[in-house]
Amino acid sequence: MFGWYWLADACQEAGLNFVLAHALYLKAIHGGKNKNDRIDSEKITHLLRTNLIPPAYVYPAAKRPLRALLRQRILYVWRRSELLARIQSINWPTTVRPSPRPAPTAITGKKSCWPRKTIPSASWPSKTIWRSFRHYDTQITVLEEQLQKLTQATAARDYTLLQTVPGIGEHLGLTLLYEIGDIHRFPTVKDFLSYCRLVKGTVASAGKIKGLRGAKLGNAYLRWVFGEAAVIAKRDHEVIGPLAARLKPSWATSSRPTRCWPSSWRALSISLLRDHTVFDPERLVAALTHQ
């Protein structure tokens, strides 16, 4: 929920210190017969005084419209994909196959597929969905042009640096830029990886790990970006591709190989925002060689 925006901005304008408690980390404050706003505020004050409230990041007000615009584009892209899948699901079962089946081709010797012919009445819902599909295309193009224009005016340097990372292009770079916000809010690289949902928590007792937890604590957009970028980098990059092929045997036991991609790649991907340097793939290869 984002109903606290107005309160955070009002406190900032009045010079008051605003602390946003993390809702998932701040469980039941106390136990007792009575529970009301006065008692809750007193208990929260004691927790704040003893530094026991896990704070959440307050996104700057100046950047919120850009992040909202980016998330609106992502939502439109998802809706557009749903419409495309809907069109395909409508067209496929409402097509007929003429008989007899074509003879095998002379080149491959395999039987050819039936040419499919769409039933005229079945194309009507497809045409209706297709108009909505094209409407989303128009809206996505407008949003992308606006995002590019505003980004070049406010954060052109960081945006250009992010695109030097293998697998990260224009759209993934925009998501990284606006979902991270201020990179200096992460004390260490481990904190950043945890925020990206790339590190799972453990439940241990007497030195034995009993299970995992916290897989969905963090930013889902950043988790998606690094997953997409890892796949693209392994497929297209001349250095990352062979490196991934060498490391592939160590991922055989994992159901999600993209999560096993070394944290060094993500660490180098984000260190360039701190140091304002270009991504160096050779540095990644050297870091993994000495592990």
**Cα separation, 168 vs 173, whole angstroms:** 6
pLDDT (0 to 100) of residue 103? 56
Phi, psi of 118, rounded to the nearest 5 degrees: -75, 140
Strands (E), 19-116: 20-21, 55-56, 95-96
Burial pattern 16-49, b for ≥16 Cβ within 10 A else e, equals eeeeebeeeeeeebeeeeeeeeeeeeeebeebee
Same-domain pairing of 143 and 229: no
Look at residue 180 and tell me if it is in a domain.
Answer: no
Is 16 within the bounds of a domain? Answer: yes
Residue 91 and residue 48 share a domain: no
Q: What is the pLDDT of residue 260?
A: 47
Does some domain include residue 32?
Answer: yes
Give mean pLDDT in consecutive 10-residue pieces for the chain, a chain of 291 residues.
Answer: 84 91 70 78 85 85 91 92 85 58 52 49 72 90 93 90 87 91 86 83 82 80 87 81 73 50 63 79 68 53
Residue 117, SS3 per DSSP: strand
- 278 and 232 in a single domain? The answer is yes
Residue 227 located in a structural domain? yes
The answer to whether residue 216 sits within a structural domain is yes
Are 198 and 249 in a shared domain? yes
SS3 state at 213:
strand
Cis, peptide link before residue 100, omega less than 30° from 0: yes
Instruction: State residue 47's pLDDT score.
Output: 84
Long-range contacts formed by 72-75: CB under 8 A, 24+ apart: 72/143, 73/140, 73/143, 73/144, 73/147, 74/175, 74/221
C-alpha dist (Å) from residue 202 to 24, 205, 216, 223: 16, 10, 13, 19
At 208 the three-state DSSP class reads strand
Strand partners, 117: 96
- Do 232 and 139 fall within a single domain? no
Cα dist from 51 to 11, 21, 44, 169, whole Å = 20, 11, 10, 40
The answer to the question of residue 232 being in a domain is yes
Structure tokens at 258: 């993209």
What per-residue confidence (pLDDT) applies to 79? Answer: 92
Number of domains in the chain: 3
- Residue 163 contacts residue 232 (beta carbons within 8 Å): no
The reply to whether 175 falls in a domain is no
Residue 87 tokens, joined: 């069109």
User: How confident is the model at residue 267, as a pLDDT?
Assistant: 67
Q: What is the reported pLDDT for 229? A: 86
Task: Please give the C-alpha separations between residue 196 and each of 60, 68, 70, 142, in angstroms, as whole numbers.
Answer: 19, 19, 18, 29
pLDDT for the residue numbered 263:
60
Do 9 and 80 lie in one domain? The reply is no
DSSP string for residues in 149-207: HHHHHH-HHHHHHHTTSTT--HHHHHHHHHHH--GGG-SSHHHHHHHTT-S-EEEEETT
Q: Judge if 46 and 72 occupy the same domain.
A: no
- Domain annotation covers residue 33: yes
Q: Are 202 and 211 in contact (CB under 8 A)?
A: yes
Same domain, 73 and 126: yes
Do both 203 and 263 map to the same domain?
yes
> Do both 52 and 70 map to the same domain?
no
Q: Among residues 154, 169, 203, which one ends one of the domains?
A: 154
Q: Distance between CA 248 and CA 260 in Å, rounded?
A: 9
Q: Which domain holds residue 130?
A: 64-96+114-154
Question: Is residue 145 located within the same domain as residue 198?
Answer: no
| Residues 269 and 232 both lie in one domain | yes
